[in-house]
């Protein structure tokens, strides 16, 4: 078994920047999705940062990226920077998700505005 979500994803989908580990096991999206579903936000973000450091790159399938950002946003619903990063990813892999990306940016702007008002 892989010790991190990043290792599992790298083994399953490959890595544009590093060789995939040779673990000698068959892999299935089903088991990876189970692990992703219950992963902590930091583990998911680590996977995204390491395997897709420039957002537009990487070998993770778009559906995995979208699911990963959705799961992280559910754990961190008040993080405007994360919302903008997720929106950026959606715009780059859209246009099917442009409306969702625009909504995320609007929510991020509203959160920033609320924080500014509280800080005054």
Give Cα 66 distance to the centre of its chain: 6
Q: What is the pLDDT of residues 55-72, one digit of tens each?
A: 888 899 999 999 999 999
- Copy the structure tokens of residue 80: 């405007």
Lowest pLDDT segment from 6-15, 19-28, 38-47, 51-60:
19-28
Return the domain boundaries, the chain: 1-76, 78-120
Is residue 21's pLDDT more than 80? no
The verdict on whether omega for the bond into residue 95 sits within 30 degrees of 0, i.e. cis, is: yes
Q: Provide the whole-model pTM.
A: 0.91
C-alpha separations of 21 from 26, 46, 79, 101 in Å: 12, 17, 33, 34
Cα–Cα distance between 56 and 90 in angstroms, integer? Answer: 10
């Amino acid at each position: 078994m892989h010790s991190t979500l990043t290792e599992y994803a790298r083994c399953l989908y490959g890595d544009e920047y590093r060789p995939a580990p040779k673990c000698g096991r068959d892999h299935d999206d089903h088991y990876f999705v189970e692990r992703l579903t219950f992963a902590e936000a930091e583990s998911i973000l680590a996977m995204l940062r390491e395997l897709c450091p420039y957002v537009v790159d990487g070998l993770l399938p778009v559906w995995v990226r979208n699911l990963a950002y959705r799961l992280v946003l559910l754990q961190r619903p008040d993080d405007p920077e994360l919302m903008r990063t997720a929106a950026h990813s959606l715009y780059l892999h859209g246009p099917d998700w442009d409306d969702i990306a625009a909504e995320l940016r609007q929510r991020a702007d509203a959160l920033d505005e609320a924080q500014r008002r509280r800080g005054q």
